[in-house]
Structure 1
Amino acid sequence: MNTAILSLRAYNFFYFSLLSIFISFLPVYLTYRGITPAQIGVLIGAGSFIGILSQPFWGMMSDRYKTIRRIILLTLGLSIAAGVLLFTSASFFALFLLVGAMYFFLLPTDPLTESLNYRIAELHGTSFGSIRTFGAVGYATASLFIGWTLDRLGMGQLVWLFVGYGVFAYACALVMQDAPASSKSLSWQELKQFFLYPQTQRFFLLVLIAATPHRTNDSFLGVYVQSLGGTTGDVGQAWFLAAVSEVAFFAISARLLARWSELRLIMLASALYAIRYVLCAIAPSAEWVVYLQLTQGVTFVLFYTATIQYLYKIIPEEWKATGQTVLAVLFFGISGIIGSLVGGWLFQQGGGAALYWAMGICSAAAFVYSLILARAGKAAGGLGL
């Protein structure tokens, strides 16, 4: 077995395990510290705003210095240090600063990781999904294990779990292969033309509309499950089932992308997102919401892999890492701000069910917009079916 692929798979396993602690259990930790849903929305919204600035910055550093691995080592190391402080803090001001630090260092590591996965997969003639699957497995197992552990040992042990996964992720990053640098020089004029191209703008708008309810779910799933009477272990189980379903669909994503156009897969994912969130809104108990997370694979994986593949088709070679971070700005930044601030307000005012109804409507809007783009693209021979 190729050692470069093995080390990258191991890194994916531990990095996405670490990410599961931050994404899945940060809202639960904040609730434990007495933070209200509206305040959680403010914290995550502010962090998402920081992500808008930090993700392009680190992506451009990667392109400028023609290395992904060394940038990951820097951002990951600083993330571990910030996480230790975050999960031992209680004051709102300290939490505000440290959540911001995590969005500056940890979240930009995600698009860098995805860019590295894609490039190494291309270099070694394997599929992106065969590598990314190990990240989904890590996310799944960590979610279940962490939820189970916190139920029994208490929320105070979260920091030690974070440190453990972080150390293993960093050790794997030290030995994994770097991505090959582009031989082309950077051209700001080409990048400007890329962003001014109507096809690009329509694509990124579609991503923003579809990603907003997804990021809202990331922020408030745990809070919603607990509001319905669920435990921390139930929250962990929900994220476990979501990640397990991702494993299955990452494994077959290459075959789906070979048979269907990217936009058609985004259309399908948006429609299924809408159904998923409406079912969560009318769920009679926390158990229903937990098991509905099994639809994460068919929604998130189809949507995310299709958007990455389409992006890599239209962006200049020398700007691929930057393009990946722009996608992440939409997915984790702008959509995160909208989802957390509006979602926190809706949760506070109308409860979790009202929030999930709104998410279902937003996903339905993404489906309608993707359908419009598909028809327009088919007629013009551009973006579309």
Structure 2
Amino acid sequence: MAASSSRLAILALSLTYALYFGQLGVINPYLGVFLDGRGFTSAEIGELFAVITLARIIGPSLWAGVADRSGKILFILRLGSALTVLSFIGVFWAYSFWTLTLVMGLMMMFWTAVLPQLEVLTLQTIEGDSKRYGRIRLWGSIGFIVLTVIVGKALDFFSTDAPIYASMLVLIGLFISSLALTQPQNTVSKASASLRIMPFLRDRVALLFLLSNGLLQLSFGAYYGFFALYMRDLGYSGMQTGLLIALGVVVEVGIFLVAQRLIARFGVWRLMVFCLLATGARWLALGTLADIFWLVFFSQFIHALSFGLNHSTSMHFIHHYFPPQIQGRIQAAYVSLAFGLGGAIGNYVSGRLWDQGTGATLTFAVAAACATVGGLVLLLVSPRQMAGKVDIPAAKA
């Protein structure tokens, strides 16, 4: 690839990451605020979060399977982006619980086509260079920070519908940026298309890895669904809440820059255990002492571990543990089972426990327990096992 075209490809990938995660910076913190403004109870908010998160179980594997077999990674990414925009338009007219759930569920189903293909496309473009990947992925965090702060400030001046207007603009931008992407020469072979992933997913190390990450994402239910409402109830302004959320992503940016060195120094197993146990401490602090601003401020630094370092370590594990031919589908399974199933259960349980804010302490205590158990689960495998490669000859049939 020529230097100029390579730079353009990197620029397009960086912009796409910025917009994709910018959308997360709108939806994750502020969807609960929007739903509260529409008159939904905390139980209904938890249920809606759970139902739309379930789309992340079906969507990633469905789209990744089509992409792996057809090799049309970029086409699937663009199609998912376009259908996301079209489905999200319905949110402006959806006011009942089930209508809004249907609209958001469809949006999430199509949106799940984007990230797994974007990750594979990026790794193909940079030919596996982890340092370049970190620099590109960094723009996702920057996009998250910028949109989180902007929408947080907007909530101080506009109605609780502000997040959906911001989301609409970002999703349109995401589709436009996808048109600037290019796909490297097709590397999908018939062997990769016929290689089944289920034998790999039944591997003991892989199962414990997925269970651990599922418990981590389950613990995030309270944070993603109710943190902004929690801060508002405690008297924090929209701007303060936005800055606190952005702070978590700022430190995440820093950890992405040094993640590969930390992985090389400490290994996958040790880092993942540390990240999950630290996350448990983070949720416990938020549930008991969130009225102390400086404690909330410093607890947000742990987000560098809760998401940033844990995600980088997980991507490293997938890239080195599984055969390259199935890594797109393995990533999709990781998103489906950890973020999808784990996230859906976490959202549902958090909504049931929250009780309009009176159950905040209990909700975060349960979240802390889940993250801690996720870390302890990894004690059932050894550091050497997680640093190796899967070996299932039967899976090659």
Give the TM-score of the pair, scaled to structure 2.
Answer: 0.88
Task: Give the partner amino acid of 1:83.
Answer: F
* Residue 31, structure 1, aligned to residue 36, structure 2: yes
Which whole-Å deviations, capped at 9, do the CAs of 1:58-94 have from their partners, x for residues lacking one? Answer: 1111112213222111111111222232255322222
> Which consecutive unaligned segments of at least 5 residues does structure 1 have?
none
Kept in 2, the 8 Å contact 1:48–1:103? The answer is: yes
Q: CA deviation at 1:345?
A: 1.0
Inter-partner Cα distance in structure 2 for 1:118 and 1:347: 40
1:158 corresponds to which letter in structure 2? P
Deviation at 1:195, TM superposition (A): 2.0
Return the match for 2:205 from 192, 195, 199.
199
> Which consecutive residues of structure 2, in runs of 5 or more, have no partner in the other structure?
391-397
2:344 corresponds to: 337
2:218/2:347 contact within 8 Å kept: no
Give, as a single letter, the amino acid of the residue that structure 2 aligns with 1:68.
I
Match in the other structure for 1:238:
244
Matched, 1:319 2:326: yes
State the AA in 2 paired with 1:334.
Answer: L
Give the direction of change, closer, same or farther, for the CA distance of 1:373–1:67 in structure 2 (3 Å limit).
same
Q: Which amino acid aligns with 1:198?
A: R
Note the C-alpha offset of 1:265: 1.1
Q: Which moved more, 1:204-213 or 1:330-339?
A: 204-213
Residue matched to 1:306? 313
1:268 correspondence with 2:250 = no
Local SS of the residue matching 2:122:
helix
The equivalent residue for 1:167 is 172
Are residue 56 (structure 1) and residue 69 (structure 2) matched? Answer: no
Q: Does residue 1:9 correspond to 2:14, yes or no?
A: yes
| Cα shift readout 1:157-194 (whole Å, capped 9, x = no counterpart) | 43332232223222221112225533432355542321
Distance 1:200 1:193 in 2: 10
Distance verdict in 2 for CA 1:224–1:27, change over 3 Å:
same
Amino acid at match of 1:307: S
User: Structure 1 pair 157/382, CA: closer, same or farther in 2 (3 Å)?
Assistant: closer
Greater CA drift, 164-173 or 188-197: 188-197
Q: 1:94/1:63 Cα in 2 relative to 1: closer, same or farther (>3 Å)?
A: same
Q: Take 2:75 and 2:316, find their aligned partners in 1: how far apart are those partners?
A: 24
1:66 aligned onto 2:71: yes
Q: Which of 345, 355, 377 lines up with 1:369 in the alignment?
A: 377
Structure-1-length-normalised TM-score? 0.91
What SS does structure 1 have at the residue aligned with 2:49?
Answer: helix
Residue 393 of structure 2 is matched in structure 1 by: none
Confirm whether residue 358 of structure 1 aligns to residue 363 of structure 2. no
Is structure 2 residue 254 aligned with structure 1 residue 248? yes
Cα deviation for residue 294 of structure 1 reads 2.8
User: Residues of 2 paired with 1:254 and 1:174: CA distance?
Assistant: 31
Contact 1:228 1:285 in 2 (8 A): yes
Report the equivalent of 1:347: 354
Deviation at 1:215, TM superposition (A): 4.2
Which whole-Å CA distance do the structure 2 matches of 1:45 and 1:125 have between them? 34
User: What percentage of aligned pairs have identical amino acids?
Assistant: 23
- Provide the residue aligned with 1:20 in structure 2: 25
Change (3 A) 1:220 1:122: farther
How many Å apart are 1:334 and its aligned residue? 0.5
Quote the Cα distance in structure 2 between the aligned partners of 1:81 and 1:151: 29
When residues 88 and 247 of structure 1 are mapped into structure 2, their CA distance, relative to the original with a 3 A threshold, is farther
1:14–1:169: 8 Å Cα contact kept in structure 2?
yes
Aligned with residue 100 of structure 1, among 101, 105, 108: 105
Relative to structure 1, the CA distance from residue 227 to residue 116 in structure 2 (aligned partners, 3 Å threshold; closer, same or farther) is farther
The residue matched to 2:164 in structure 1 has which SS?
helix
Counterpart CA distance in 2 for 1:235 and 1:83 is 25
Looking at structure 1, the residues matched to 232 and 187 of structure 2 have their Cα atoms a distance apart, in angstroms, of 47
**In structure 2, what residue type is equivalent to 1:237?**
L
Aligned pair count reads 382
**Alpha-carbon separation, structure 2, partners of 1:89 and 1:232:** 25
Corresponding letter in the other structure for 1:333: G
Amino acid of the residue matched to residue 344 of structure 2? I
